[in-house]
Structure 1
Amino acid sequence: MLRDGVISDELWDVLEKVMPQDAGRRGRPWNDHRTTLEGIIWRFRTGSPWRDLPEPFGPYQSVWERHRLWSTDGTYGRMLEAVREQSEVDDDEVEAILSIDSTVVRAHQHAAGARRDSVAAPADDTGGRIELHEFAGGARGAA
């Protein structure tokens, strides 16, 4: 089931004022900003790849490109500031709303077990414990 209509009309009235405009822009007119923003929200809410974005949000390439643009041109920052100005929420409450739940943040498998000493590892050391297995077996057999 596709869940659109996530952005309320009240919120959109605030956000629409800070969205980039087509005036003076070359090329095709943009797809609807609200639909595109809802597509971005859908993608991050579900954790799906961009390619799995449902058709009602438009081509995934366009939605991804707009997300990338808004990330670099300050649009997201302007959205946050506009919402802050219109709301009665203080900075601590905003941080609580935007905080990342650490139970879903994971490190890459190679991030575990990093060397803590300043001595460089030998060239043939993969960083894993597989090299130690042969020595551990030999030590037990000798005892």
Structure 2
Amino acid sequence: MARRLLRDDQYERIALLLPGKAGDRGRTAADNREFVEAVLWIARTGSPWRDLPEEFGNWNSVYQRFARWSRAEVWHKVFATLAGDADFEEVFIDSTIVRAHQHAAGAPKKKGDQALGRSRGGLSTKIHALVDGLGMLARFRLTGGQAGDSPEALPLLGSLCPGSVAADKAYDTDALIEHLHKFDVQAVIPSRANRLVQRPLEKHLYRSRNLVERFFARIKQFRRIATRYDKLSERFASFVALASALIWLV
């Protein structure tokens, strides 16, 4: 029997966020929990959809349903609801490279950019993450692996005004520093060596930046995230959202 990941209390927290409830338009789903467990099994093991254990049902039916929910951003809505409990007194920003399997290449051009690029390690995707003061993911974005880190900082922050933002030296740009100063947000970012005026650094706050590294270590325990197999970025992003939601439920 395939191992399940959700406890009863965890599933109850997300049950009302899923389609197919009584009262929803369309057919009422009788197996939402088993379906979510099936997708979690794929995310955890990194296995091809065809290898899904038969006890979860027909693999293609599960895959097609996963694809529909991805297009409808169901996984993102579940993650966003759980991440609503984030503590934004301190936030930490960083990115991690995910190597892409050869099967991830070749999405039709009409599908647009798929957040794939060639970096030093080959074909890859970057997950740009903003975690809160407890090391929990609050927001994320995907780009190709060749993309720089700093351009994604402002889109990640959006209208957020935390007490402080900690990031490594790669984020020391005039645009970000000026944005943080404008909203009276403390910039816990080391100055680049070529800056004429070196900013003071709150080292005790900067030491906590390892929280974002710990998050990356946790989410990459899901093998479908540690290596990208999905051609479409929306499918890969759905796995990131689902795995992060599960971490919020633990």
TM-score of the two chains, using structure 2 as the length reference: 0.35
Check whether the contact 2:86–2:136 (CA below 8 A) recurs between aligned residues. Answer: no
Paired-residue identity, %: 30
| Counterpart in the other structure of 2:136 | 94
| Counterpart in the other structure of 2:70 | 71
Q: Decide whether aligned partners of structure 1 residues 51 and 70 sit closer, same or farther in structure 2, where only a CA change above 3 A counts.
A: same
| Counterpart in the other structure of 1:24 | 25
**Once the two structures are superposed, what CA deviation does each residue of 1:8-49 show, in whole Å capped at 9, x if it has no partner?**
2222111111101263316xx545111011111111211111
**Cα RMSD between the aligned structures?**
2.6
| Counterpart in the other structure of 2:3 | 3
Distance in 2 (alpha carbons) for counterparts of 1:47 and 1:12:
22
Check whether the contact 2:42–2:52 (CA below 8 A) recurs between aligned residues. Answer: yes
Check whether the contact 1:14–1:82 (CA below 8 A) recurs between aligned residues. Answer: no
**What pairs with 1:1-143 in structure 2 (closer than 5 Å)?**
2-4=2-4, 6-21=5-20, 23-25=24-26, 30-85=29-84, 87=85, 91-92=131-132, 93-95=135-137, 96=212, 99=216, 101=220, 104-105=226-227
**Once the two structures are superposed, what CA deviation does each residue of 1:87-140 show, in whole Å capped at 9, x if it has no partner?**
566643223476354xx548xxxxxxxxxxxxxxxxxxxxxxxxxxxxxxxxxx
Displacement after TM superposition at 1:50 (Å): 0.5
Check whether the contact 2:69–2:75 (CA below 8 A) recurs between aligned residues. Answer: yes
Which has more radius of gyration? Answer: 1
Between Structure 1 and Structure 2, which shows a larger proportion of strand residues? 2
Distance in 2 (alpha carbons) for counterparts of 1:62 and 1:18:
21
Bigger relative contact order, structure 1 or 2 (CA pairs below 8 A, ≥6 apart): 2
Residue identity in the other structure for 2:44: R
Q: Decide whether aligned partners of structure 1 residues 89 and 69 sit closer, same or farther in structure 2, where only a CA change above 3 A counts.
A: farther
Q: Decide whether aligned partners of structure 1 residues 73 and 98 sit closer, same or farther in structure 2, where only a CA change above 3 A counts.
A: farther
Between Structure 1 and Structure 2, which shows a larger proportion of helix residues? 1
Residue identity in the other structure for 1:72: R
Distance in 2 (alpha carbons) for counterparts of 1:98 and 1:40:
21
Structure 2 spans left out of the alignment, 5+ residues: 89-130, 138-211, 221-225, 229-250
Secondary structure, aligned partner of 2:16: helix
Residue identity in the other structure for 1:94: M
Structure 1 spans left out of the alignment, 5+ residues: 107-143
How many correspondences in the alignment? 100
Distance in 1 (alpha carbons) for counterparts of 2:58 and 2:87:
35
